[in-house]
Structure 1
């Protein structure tokens, strides 16, 4: 099995400009995900897809392969991520590579640990493995208990069910944290055409303190706070 890592990083960011390359714990933010992937024995190479020459330069310096600058039609604000990954993998296959599994890492999730990726890969290697394993966390919110949605008349009501008086009685739900996605090659190709939820999906739960997704300055500060408290070597 040939497993590669992909990291998608556009140059534009409205919530926190330049977030993918802002200094984080002594390195550009994206470099943490690149180094993380390079250190894992299951991953043969790390590829970055970006439209930004500065991100490309920093990615190369960190050890990633930059096969091209992403075309403009795949770098818009509203461009879905899956066609971007599929475009990269298809390009590599056209160059003669055989790829059976893709580990996609979000560059704005620097708090994942090797154990988190090990857990995702173990689930992906199970006999009943689905097309995709993705990382999740318990956000503390639940549509059966404390999540409401607006109705046509402007009022709000519980999102699902009739409303429960105790969270412990509600079905278990998870929030996507975006940190790790482990794709089977054929599942990625299908999902790029038909959407993520068109393939069987399994979840791997990470703790909330490792699930910060950096999109704002407050997220950045919180991630730094948690990073400083991680055991050394993670």
Structure 2
């Protein structure tokens, strides 16, 4: 039987939006939205909120998911790769006698993830090549060849100027990390000691609003309004 672990990294420090992970969002602490989606999905044997912060740990406990242990202090600053945090968590559980097959990294501000998406993503990952992790992505809306970069003279040019006139449907779709989730083989994470090496992900395509960047107060306000609208009864039928 496949055992699954969900890890929600939610440290206390945040520079651009102070206390972002625990700040009120649509009526409850921000990280508890994705926590609730993970719980409702019933896809995970254990859901672990990885934090160095007592207030976040208390909020997780109030939501029914007290962290089994604190995050290593060496992994609680701005420079710790998120994969290191997840790998360390998997190894810590193994040291405590809990072994998993699949590990989900769920971002604390993935406000628009649904239980159904998480269920489907787990199935897609486990039915495919487990050596390739699965990443939630959104289409950026512009083909790769038509993306602009700035040259040495400060002017914009497309990535492939030879294909500027080609039809969009004949070009290469481009994606970005939605900042929502990743699914990994647990054994591979245990062996992953660097956290900085490039990975070849399989894509799991998400609706564009799932990948909202939330880096400013304006981003936050917009996401909160969108969440309220999407949760309205007329969108639930």
**TM-score scaled by length of structure 1:** 0.89
| Aligned counterparts, 1:30-69, within 5 A | 30-69=31-70
| Aligned counterparts, 1:174-185, within 5 A | 174-185=175-186
Structure 1 Cα separation of the partners of residues 197 and 121 of structure 2: 17
Contact 1:103–1:183, Cα closer than 8 Å, also in 2: yes
Task: Give, in angstroms, the shift of residue 45 of structure 1.
Answer: 1.5
Task: Give, in angstroms, the shift of residue 228 of structure 1.
Answer: 1.6
Tell me the secondary structure at the aligned position of residue 15 of structure 1: coil
Paired positions, count: 232
Name which of structure 1's ranges 35-44 and 184-193 shifts more when overlaid on structure 2. 184-193
| Aligned counterparts, 1:1-234, within 5 A | 1-145=2-146, 147-160=147-160, 162-165=162-165, 166-193=167-194, 195=196, 197-198=198-199, 200-231=200-231, 232=233
Structure 2 Cα separation of the partners of residues 158 and 172 of structure 1: 15
Structure 2 Cα separation of the partners of residues 42 and 88 of structure 1: 19
- From the superposition, tell whether residues 127 and 150 of structure 1 become closer, same or farther in structure 2 (CA, over 3 Å): closer
CA deviation string 1:182-234 (max 9, x = no partner): 11112323444364534x42111111122224222122122212212225569
Task: Give, in angstroms, the shift of residue 22 of structure 1.
Answer: 1.1
Structure 1 Cα separation of the partners of residues 219 and 81 of structure 2: 22
Name which of structure 1's ranges 91-100 and 149-158 shifts more when overlaid on structure 2. 149-158
CA deviation string 1:103-129 (max 9, x = no partner): 111011111112221231121122434
